[in-house]
Amino acid sequence: MAVQGIWNGTIGFSLVAIPVRVVTAVVPGHVSFHLLHSKDYSRLERKMYCPADERMVTPEEIIRGYEVLPGKYIPLTDEELESVSPERSRTIEIIEFIDMKDVDPIYYDHPYYLVPSKGGEKAYQLLAEVMARTKKAGLAKFVLAEREHLVAITSKDGALALTTLHYSDEVLPDGEMSPAKGAAESGEVARMKKSIENMMKDFDPGKYADGRRKKIMDLLEAKVKEKALVDAPAMTEKEEEGPADLVAALEESMRKVKVKEGR
Amino acid sequence: MSRTYVEIAGRSLPLSNLEKDLYPSYGFTKAAILEYYRRIAPFILPHLQGRALTLKRYPGGVEKEFFFEKRCPAHRPAWVSTAEVVHHNGEPMMMCVVSDLETLLWAGNLAALELHVPLSRAGSPQTPDSLVFDLDPGDGAGIPECTRVALILRDLLFQMGLASYVKTSGQKGLHVLVPLNSKDTTFDDTKTFSRAVAGIMERHYPDLVTSKMAKNERIGKVFINWSQNDASKTMICVYSLRAREKPFVSFPLEWKELEDLDGQGDRESLQVVHSEAVRRAEAKGDLFREVLVKEQKLPHL
């Protein structure tokens, strides 16, 4: 299966640099829908509305504001945001090796695979194997979509996997989650331990499926049989082209340009 | 920090860190940058004159962080001209206006390598004196595609009765400017016109041109960014240096240079580096003079 990469570059540390591409490891299983107009099934678009002006605003009129207090903002331009965005980078540089079991699963964000690019296969295999043997994970920084992520590189069935990690300040403190400590009675502890042991199984994710997703897919299948698909109305070129006179004059000029240049 | 004072027109200008290399992979010190701006001053000053300047400062050089400075620094010498400009949020703000050599060098001394200005003058912020098409090649497109789009655009504008002028952006693309210099033209007009032109170009050359901002729409194509025709936007000033690995300049070209490329050329084909910029400007004069004076009216609006 040829998988489309979402990023191309090299992974490395000290003197090693292996060309790889990053592919996503998980496709979330929810069923997605488009929003349609009930009257004629045309696809609806999102527009931004200014309640003060009582009108829709165009993208050029939109800037970002950081809310400091209710209704008080610090406005930021795209240029200012760009000035603090990390440079696009073509490398995933491993900065240290760690034990993956030291990483609390609460830090796991999104899983990806690393696939070797042309010429990188041998070095890739070597790294995957050594990492599997030593059971270590590489900690690296990785710029994706204008954000710098902390990532863990692990070896998984002969391949390298990459998991983006949350930054520590994104993880909420759990101090208030656990109730105040009380002494557990030893009989209770033993009984609960026993019931847990009785329910022990090996983890088999294949046994479980998203029930709602399955029901929706069944429903869609049933509906397709009972009723034909509906069509969205054909759209006339409705992108704002400009005043009709101007567009006509431009079309005429373009025709002349093409004739003259034989383009 | 080393400090040197120079006298210009009876004004004393302190210059600092002249030996600092701001383009380390090329080797171009602050002294060389100031020398570039001194030599190019006769050509760039008319294009900066009267416009609110946005400084793009690289205090640690082109490989380090930069920041945009719109507000004219409070520590400016008393002789630096300013203009009061109303910002997005409705607040008035003092911005620098470069009208003489000493202010240009003062900005250069702040490591403001890139000088960005709006298409309108500070005194009439809603009146653009030119219209711009910012041609930005996406991934997989380059100078050949960009050149081709620029030439088609020139011909189309010519058929519409409009003369246009081209400069390198100093980065990857080209800027095509249509001088207007009429106080009746508004940004609404230039936006309507440029958007319609970008739309026509996209419809007739769908494999070559896109008018969509989205990055994935741009792959292998040239993005005609018409949205620069806005009072709140700034463009790199002609003759300004760019903060690239080499000191490339946003430099005016003759259309013939684009024709001669004939769809060929690599990434650096049209790039003009500082020394060549000075040499060519001194030999040929300001190829962008017409942009400041030629009066044209957008048809069918």
In a domain, A27, yes or no: yes
In a domain, A225, yes or no: no
Cα separation, A238 vs A37, whole angstroms: 17
Per-residue confidence (pLDDT) for residue A12, from 0 to 100? 87
In a domain, A263, yes or no: no
Structural domains in chain A (count): 1
CB A75 within 8 A of CB B90: no
Distance of CA A125 to the CA centre of its chain: 27
Chain A residues inside the 8 Å CB shell of B227: 59-60
Give me the residue from B68, B156, B195 closest to A83, CB to CB: B68
pLDDT digits (tens, 9 = 90+) for B12-59: 898 999 999 999 999 999 999 999 999 999 999 999 999 999 999 999
* Chain B residues bordering chain A (beta-carbon distance below 8 Å): 65-68, 88-89, 152, 155-156, 159-160, 191-193, 195-197, 199-200, 204, 213, 227, 230, 232, 299-301
Cα separation, B145 vs B151, whole angstroms: 10
**Which of A8, A53, A60, A63 to mutate against chain B (most B CBs within 10 Å)?**
A60
pLDDT over threshold 90, residue B181? yes
**Closest Cα of chain A to B160: distance in Å?**
6
The residue among B282 and B265 whose pLDDT is bigger is B282
Residue A120, domain extent: 5-42+81-170
The residue among B213 and A205 whose pLDDT is bigger is A205
The residue among B193 and A147 whose pLDDT is bigger is B193
Per-residue confidence (pLDDT) for residue A90, from 0 to 100? 85
Chain A residues inside the 8 Å CB shell of B155: 257, 260-261
Per-residue confidence (pLDDT) for residue A27, from 0 to 100? 77
pLDDT digits (tens, 9 = 90+) for B83-126: 998 876 667 889 999 999 999 999 999 999 999 999 999 999 99
Q: What angle do CA B126, B131, B136 make, to 5 degrees?
A: 120
Domain containing residue A111: CATH number: 2.40.290.10
CB B108 within 8 A of CB B237: no
Per-residue confidence (pLDDT) for residue A3, from 0 to 100? 59
CB B58 within 8 A of CB B113: yes
Give me the residue from A77, A79, A240 closest to B195, CB to CB: A240
Per-residue confidence (pLDDT) for residue A205, from 0 to 100? 86
Per-residue confidence (pLDDT) for residue A45, from 0 to 100? 84
**Would you give the end-to-end CA distance of chain B in angstroms?**
56
Q: At what angle do helices B30-48 and B274-284 cross, to 10 degrees?
A: 40
Chain B residues inside the 8 Å CB shell of A250: 156, 160, 196-197, 200
Average pLDDT over residues B62-91: 86
Q: Give CA torsion, residues B255, B256, B258, B261, to 10 deg.
A: 180
C-beta atoms of B155 and A260 within 8 A: yes
Chain B residues inside the 8 Å CB shell of A247: 196, 199-200
In a domain, A152, yes or no: yes
| Adjacent-strand bridge partners of B132 | B177
Chain A residues inside the 8 Å CB shell of B193: 242, 246
Cα separation, B155 vs A260, whole angstroms: 10
Per-residue pLDDT of chain A (263 residues; tens, 9 = 90+): 445 678 888 998 888 889 999 988 887 777 888 899 888 888 888 888 988 888 888 877 888 899 888 888 998 887 788 788 887 788 899 999 999 889 999 999 999 999 998 888 999 999 999 989 988 899 999 988 778 999 999 998 889 999 999 998 888 877 667 777 777 788 889 999 999 999 999 988 888 888 888 888 888 888 888 877 888 776 654 456 788 889 999 999 999 998 877 65
In a domain, A203, yes or no: no
Radius of gyration over alpha carbons of chain A, in Å? 28
User: For residue B276, which phi and psi values (nearest 5 degrees)?
Assistant: -70, -35
In a domain, A255, yes or no: no
In a domain, A147, yes or no: yes
Cα separation, B268 vs A19, whole angstroms: 26
DSSP chain A: --PPPSEEEEEEETTEEEEEEEEES----------B-TTT-PBP---EEETTTTEEE-GGG--EEEEEETTEEEEE-HHHHHHHSPPP-SEEEEEEEE-GGGS-GGGEEEEEEEEEPTT-HHHHHHHHHHHHHHT-EEEEEEEETTEEEEEEEEEETTEEEEEEE--GGGSPP-TTTSPPP-PPPHHHHHHHHHHHHHT-----GGG---HHHHHHHHHHHHHHHHSPPPPPPPPP--S----HHHHHHHHHHHHHHHHHHT-
In this structure, the number of other CB atoms found within 10 A of the CB of residue A5 comes to 17
For tokens 């700034």, the residue is B234
Give me the residue from B68, B200, B213 closest to A251, CB to CB: B200
Identify the helix (H) or strand (E) that includes residue B97. Answer: strand B92-97
For residue B89, the chain A residue with the least C-alpha distance is A75
C-beta atoms of A250 and B160 within 8 A: yes
Chain A residues inside the 8 Å CB shell of B195: 240, 242
How high does pLDDT run on average in chain B? 93
Chain B residues inside the 8 Å CB shell of A241: 196, 199
ipTM of the complex: 0.88
C-beta atoms of A83 and B67 within 8 A: yes
C-beta atoms of A243 and B195 within 8 A: no
| Adjacent-strand bridge partners of B163 | none
C-beta atoms of A257 and B156 within 8 A: yes
Nearest to B23 by CA among B154, B114, B89: B114
In a domain, A96, yes or no: yes
Give Dmax (Cα) for chain A.
96
Radius of gyration over alpha carbons of chain B, in Å? 19
Task: Using DSSP, state whether B86 is helix, strand or coil.
Answer: strand
pLDDT band at B1 (very low <50, low <70, confident <90, very high): low
% pLDDT > 70, chain B: 99
